[in-house]
Amino acid sequence: MADDFAPFDPPDWLDREDDLLAPYAMRARRSRGRRRPEADHAFRTPFQRDRDRIVHCTAFRRLMHKTQVLVTQTNDHHRTRLTHTLEMTQISRTVARRLGLNEDLTEAIALSHDLGHPPFGHAGETALNECMRGHGGFEHNLHALRIVEVLEYPYPEFPGLNLTWEVREAMAQHSRRRDAPEVAEFQESGRPLLEAQVADAADSLAYDAHDVDDALGAGLITPDDLTDVPFWRAALERVRQRFGELRPEQFRPTMVRTLISSQVVDLLEHTRRRLQAERIRSVEDVRRHGEVLVGPSPEMLALKTGLEEFLRARVYLHARVQRMTVKGARIVRLLFEEFCRAPQLLPERYASRTARQGVERTVCDYLAGMTDRFAQEEYLRLFHPYHAV
Ligand code: MG
């Protein structure tokens, strides 16, 4: 807390940002601030404090046991939503720093980008949205906003994490539900900040690469299956040119590294060219610009699309992944129905909220917060005749 430290006058981060950042970067001193105003911290910018609040919140730690693509039990080293978040955050920081953007803001946005995901990946989200039809629906970006504004409450001075407007805006801008009342206050600002655009690009960059890695690791596909994918083939040629034939222990990580680094280099070059060509010289220019400015070149986009089509057909729709998907969705649906039918089964902390916000939203909050394994356990506790309650 700010009052634990003797205040510097002025805080030392103010000038540091001016020394380091490009003119189109968001500066902490220009932040629209927090819902509940707080005194400046002596040596952390508001965005650094946001980053720390996110890392210390419960929803962040739960990402450890939430499905990215493969369900938790598949093996012990595939990505979970937490490790995906860490990988894409590091890529986001590299790109932000190289472009002269606000690395702290980018980091906070990146670390928070998957906070609102329910258990069992997108299957869980679809199931929860169907359960909530007629009760406001469910979408992970809106739920992330709800987590940081309402559901987490670690601070005595205010509800939620009291994050800056800019970090919350990035969550709201991501939402496909532009009609939702929670999004209204973020509608007028124009295009997302470049820092948010970087996190977005890094998200897709990271999962395209690591989903291939995990699918190979879990034996869902083999390297031979990938030879018709142009992006893989291009990376393979580069790896062979440079290293010749590699042993399996090095082959896969080297291929994945190549998939990542070629995308990062392309993203940096293409984005820098666009910022120059479009004469982007301020945050206002970014806000006013007709299109997103951070992104891959058309050539790289085509390569990524080819790889994503392959992943959809051969990995996301793979029978072993689908078994998890269908089962996860069923667990979510059955838990939802049972808690709505008998809200007295909810833990006290949630049961006390039903009068204020309705049974359905309360059950949805409880379910969305669950990790995969907690949802599976809860299912057994409720439905298995001999399982402890
Ligand atoms: Mg993500």
Q: How far is CA 270 from CA 122, 200, 246, 377, 388, in A?
A: 30, 15, 31, 47, 57
Q: Are residues 260 and 299 in the same domain?
A: yes
Lowest mean pLDDT of 254-258, 353-357, 363-367, name the range: 353-357
Q: Are residues 84 and 206 in the same domain?
A: yes
Which domain does 355 fall in, by range? Answer: 115-187+321-389
Q: What pLDDT, on the 0 to 100 scale, is given for residue 62? A: 97
Q: What pLDDT, on the 0 to 100 scale, is given for residue 384? A: 95
Question: What is the four-CA torsion angle of 220, 221, 222, 226, rounded to 10 degrees?
Answer: -160
The alpha carbon of 121 and the centre of ligand 1 are apart by a number of angstroms equal to 10
Question: What is the four-CA torsion angle of 159, 164, 169, 171, rounded to 10 degrees?
Answer: -60
The alpha carbon of 113 and the centre of ligand 1 are apart by a number of angstroms equal to 6
The alpha carbon of 106 and the centre of ligand 1 are apart by a number of angstroms equal to 14
Does 6 have pLDDT greater than 80? no
The alpha carbon of 216 and the centre of ligand 1 are apart by a number of angstroms equal to 20
Q: Are residues 343 and 307 in the same domain?
A: no
Q: Which helix (H) or strand (E) segment is 384 a member of?
A: none
The alpha carbon of 193 and the centre of ligand 1 are apart by a number of angstroms equal to 18
Q: What pLDDT, on the 0 to 100 scale, is given for residue 75? A: 77
Q: What pLDDT, on the 0 to 100 scale, is given for residue 16? A: 86
Domain annotation covers residue 240: yes
- Count CB-CB contacts under 10 A for residue 76: 6
Q: How far is CA 117 from CA 50, 95, 369, in A?
A: 19, 25, 8
Q: What pLDDT, on the 0 to 100 scale, is given for residue 203? A: 97
Q: What pLDDT, on the 0 to 100 scale, is given for residue 178? A: 81
Q: Are residues 162 and 214 in the same domain?
A: no
Q: Which of 71, 50, 253 is nearest to 167 (CA)?
A: 50
Angle, helix 46-55 to helix 103-112, in steps of 10 degrees: 30
Does 288 have pLDDT greater than 80? yes
Token pair of 112 as six digits:
């928070």
Q: What pLDDT, on the 0 to 100 scale, is given for residue 5? A: 55
The alpha carbon of 40 and the centre of ligand 1 are apart by a number of angstroms equal to 31
Q: Are residues 226 and 95 in the same domain?
A: yes
Q: Which amino acid is located at 281 in the chain?
A: R
Q: Are residues 136 and 278 in the same domain?
A: no
Angle, helix 230-243 to helix 298-311, in steps of 10 degrees: 110
Q: What pLDDT, on the 0 to 100 scale, is given for residue 34? A: 97
The alpha carbon of 18 and the centre of ligand 1 are apart by a number of angstroms equal to 30
Domain annotation covers residue 26: no
Q: Which helix (H) or strand (E) segment is 268 a member of?
A: helix 248-277
The alpha carbon of 207 and the centre of ligand 1 are apart by a number of angstroms equal to 7
Q: Are residues 222 and 368 in the same domain?
A: no
Give tens-digit pLDDT for 237-283: 999 999 999 999 999 999 999 999 999 999 999 999 999 999 999 99
The alpha carbon of 111 and the centre of ligand 1 are apart by a number of angstroms equal to 9
Q: What pLDDT, on the 0 to 100 scale, is given for residue 385? A: 93
Q: Which of 122, 106, 145, 109 is nearest to 66 (CA)?
A: 122
Tokens 């359960």 belong to residue? 131
What is the pLDDT confidence band of residue 176, given thresholds at 50, 70 and 90?
confident
- Count of structural domains, the chain: 2
The alpha carbon of 162 and the centre of ligand 1 are apart by a number of angstroms equal to 22
The alpha carbon of 134 and the centre of ligand 1 are apart by a number of angstroms equal to 27
What is the pLDDT confidence band of residue 68, given thresholds at 50, 70 and 90?
confident
Q: What is the mean pLDDT of residues 75-82?
A: 87
Q: Are residues 91 and 151 in the same domain?
A: no
Give tens-digit pLDDT for 185-199: 998 889 999 999 999
Domain annotation covers residue 37: no
Residues 6 or more apart whose Cβ sits within 8 Å of residue 95: 101, 106, 198, 201, 202, 264, 267, 268, 271, 294
Q: Are residues 206 and 326 in the same domain?
A: no
Q: Which amino acid is located at 380 in the chain?
A: L
The alpha carbon of 127 and the centre of ligand 1 are apart by a number of angstroms equal to 19
Q: Are residues 236 and 255 in the same domain?
A: yes
Rounded Cα gap, residues 389 and 366, in angstroms: 17
CATH of the domain at 168: 1.10.3210.10
Q: With 0-12 CB in 10 A as exposed, 13-18 as middle and 19+ as buried, what is 133?
A: exposed
Domain annotation covers residue 158: yes
Q: What pLDDT, on the 0 to 100 scale, is given for residue 86? A: 98
What is the pLDDT confidence band of residue 1, given thresholds at 50, 70 and 90?
very low
Does 7 have pLDDT greater than 60? no
Domain annotation covers residue 40: no
Domain boundary pick from 301, 317, 333? 317
Domain boundary pick from 282, 317, 352? 317
Q: What pLDDT, on the 0 to 100 scale, is given for residue 4? A: 56
DSSP secondary structure string for all residues of 311-372: HIIIIITSHHHHHHHHHHHHHHHHHHHHHHH-GGGS-HHHHTTHHHH-HHHHHHHHHHH--H
Q: What pLDDT, on the 0 to 100 scale, is given for residue 165? A: 98
Q: Are residues 216 and 239 in the same domain?
A: yes
Domain annotation covers residue 305: yes
Q: How far is CA 178 from CA 59, 121, 139, 371, in A?
A: 24, 22, 11, 27
Please, what sign has the CA dihedral across residues 180, 35, 33, 145? Answer: negative
Does 2 have pLDDT greater than 50? no
The alpha carbon of 380 and the centre of ligand 1 are apart by a number of angstroms equal to 29
Across all residues in the chain, what is the average pLDDT?
94
Give tens-digit pLDDT for 89-146: 999 999 999 999 999 999 999 999 999 999 999 999 999 999 999 999 999 999 999 9
Domain annotation covers residue 1: no
Domain annotation covers residue 119: yes
Q: Which of 293, 201, 304 is nearest to 259 (CA)?
A: 304
Q: Are residues 290 and 199 in the same domain?
A: yes
Q: Are 303 and 347 in contact (CB under 8 A)?
A: no
What is the pLDDT confidence band of residue 346, given thresholds at 50, 70 and 90?
very high
The alpha carbon of 268 and the centre of ligand 1 are apart by a number of angstroms equal to 20
Q: Measure CA 384 to chain center.
A: 34
Rounded Cα gap, residues 296 and 265, in angstroms: 9
Does 71 have pLDDT greater than 70? no
Please, what sign has the CA dihedral across residues 233, 204, 79, 73? Answer: negative
